Structure 1
Amino acid sequence: MSTRTGRATRTGQYLALTGYLVFLAFPFLWLISTAFKPARELGSLHPTWIPDHPTLDNFRQAFDEQPLLQAAANSALAAVSAGVICVAIATPMAYVMARHRSKLSAAATGWVVISQAFPFVLLIIPLFLVLKNLQLINSLAGLIMVYVVWSLPFALWMLVGYVRAVPAELEEAASVDGAGRLRTLVSVTAPLLAPGIVATALFAFITAWNEFFFALVLLKTPEKQTLPVILTHFIGAEGAADLGPLAAAAFLATLPSLLLFAFIQRRITGGMLAGAVKS
């Protein structure tokens, strides 16, 4: 009876997982299908999954109509910079909070939780005024600063959990063997934290890469705008979308995040296994 129950439970879990994957994959697959459809198929009353006559015209039109390469470069610069800076700031802060618990650490944790409750709309006016006084409006430097501040609380919260998962006894054993504090951090703690640091950097990167609202408000000139903002240019003044080029551009904008996650995911798993073996 228990064996049947176990099989039924596993079957239900697999079915639920399959349904969830289909739910996640449906918009992306439809986006790919739309990106390769010619104009006459996009206006069809009976749309199909697979285009009858696949075409690259939507991609050519998208690059002809909007500066996608420049926008992608702007997004990459903002996302990579935000990820690196965010991790560089959050890692030592997380270590101190995890290893030296105090009232200040508890207050910092409370700040992390509270900061995530504020919506974008409440923050944009103070941010705009601060950046205006710093003369950073319509600059990628100002946008990067905003992304770092916005991602830092959650990144700090993530890294605190990773640091606490590293046994403090390993550091104590290293110090007993004669290793100094810096040597212990570099040789013992850092390798075990590497998967968490990579995951946090990936979170900050994807957050900045996909962010739209701050970039829309803070960047004015087209040559400085990021990819999510440029995508809105495919929608006309009356709300009519140039669907084919929009789908092609959106497909290209989605690829970097997916490829980066697929590339890093194996290294995160490998780092965890390597850390487990070393410990």
Structure 2
Amino acid sequence: MRVRPVTRVGQYFALFLYLIFLAYPLLWLISLSLKGARELVSIHPSLIPEHIVWSNYVTALTDQGLVHSAFNSLVTSVGSTLIVIVIAVPAAYSLTRFRTGVRTVASIWILVSQVFPTILIIIPVFLILKQFSLLDSLTGLTLVYVVWTLPFALWMLMGYLGSVPVEVEEAAAVDGAGRLRIIISIVLPLLAPGIVATAMFAFISAWNEFFFALVLIQTTSTRTLSLTLAKYVGSEGMLQLGPLAAGSVLATVPSLIFFAFLQKRLTGGLLAGSVKG
């Protein structure tokens, strides 16, 4: 069905407006990070800075140890993402392909974990980590992120696996392929878009997480990026808006790089799945 030129123009115009809607908060944040102290308290602020000031970025990088905190967040985010993917992929395959009583229990666990308030479990988590000497450590925080992210990641992968035709696996089994060979050669390539999407979710969840880190991290050496950004709000409510905006802009860069890196594989996985399916 051929789309009329007027309809095509309207679609692109709507997409352009939607992109502006999504990008405007980020553009405003960048604008704040480039403004001086006097312009930040202006009664009539503008999107374009009158005078570009780079000192906010210098303060953000040197004042609160932003680089070290970003490295800590990167360690916990990448570590928890890898562990979640390694656990969730075989678990999702087992729950999807083998209809047992475990599937019902797992589904109930996933649903309950998503509606359970975080604040109710923070004290038990604190005591457990303290008992195993994992309190105030990146290892303990990574494990918490794994446990907290795994249910939804598992649910996502089960949905993707449900769309993979089981007839493809049956055809490979008829040709003599074993279960492991079927999973590696057939299921994983078709599941690539789901794995990429799940990895994005796990990484962003850990990268932006604040509450667990606030309670479980106690020293400066293990402080994550979200905790460092919170330091720009003083105890009396005094806000260092310029350095906070600059630090927030820098904090978005790793997420954008991670998304851009995986986006190619997401598209490639979709094309490969369409051909192999």
TM-score range, shorter chain: over 0.9
- Cα distance in 2 for residues equivalent to 1:183 and 1:138: 42
- Cα distance in 2 for residues equivalent to 1:157 and 1:258: 25
- Give how far 1:223 is off: 1.2
Corresponding position of 1:253? 251
- Cα distance in 1 for residues equivalent to 2:115 and 2:8: 37
Q: Aligned-residue CA RMSD in angstroms?
A: 2.0
Unaligned runs of 5+ in 1: none
Percent identity (aligned):
55
What pairs with 1:191-210 in structure 2 (closer than 5 Å)?
191-210=189-208
- Give how far 1:19 is off: 5.0
- Give how far 1:269 is off: 1.3
- Does 2:132 align with 1:134? yes
- Give how far 1:263 is off: 2.6
Corresponding position of 1:275? 273
The runs of at least 4 consecutive aligned structure 1 residues that moved more than 4 Å come to 7-11, 13-20
**1:107-148 deviations in Å (ceiling 9; x for gaps):** 211111111001111110110111111111100011001000
- Give how far 1:259 is off: 2.4
What pairs with 1:227-238 in structure 2 (closer than 5 Å)?
227-238=225-236
- Does 2:173 align with 1:175? yes
| SS of aligned partner of 1:188 | helix
Corresponding position of 1:38? 36
| SS of aligned partner of 2:231 | helix
**1:220-259 deviations in Å (ceiling 9; x for gaps):** 1011110000001111111111110010001100121122
Corresponding position of 1:219? 217
- Cα distance in 1 for residues equivalent to 2:265 and 2:8: 31
- Cα distance in 2 for residues equivalent to 1:182 and 1:90: 16
- Give how far 1:77 is off: 0.2
Q: 1:58 aligns with which of 56, 59, 62?
A: 56
What pairs with 1:7-18 in structure 2 (closer than 5 Å)?
11=10
- Cα distance in 2 for residues equivalent to 1:150 and 1:184: 30
Corresponding position of 1:98? 96
Unaligned runs of 5+ in 2: none
- Cα distance in 1 for residues equivalent to 2:241 and 2:47: 16
Corresponding position of 1:49? 47
- Cα distance in 2 for residues equivalent to 1:262 and 1:30: 22
**1:30-62 deviations in Å (ceiling 9; x for gaps):** 100001112221122221111111121100111
- Cα distance in 2 for residues equivalent to 1:273 and 1:9: 24
TM-score (norm. length: structure 2) = 0.93
Corresponding position of 2:149? 151
- Cα distance in 2 for residues equivalent to 1:101 and 1:154: 20
- Give how far 1:18 is off: 5.0
TM-score (norm. length: structure 1) = 0.93
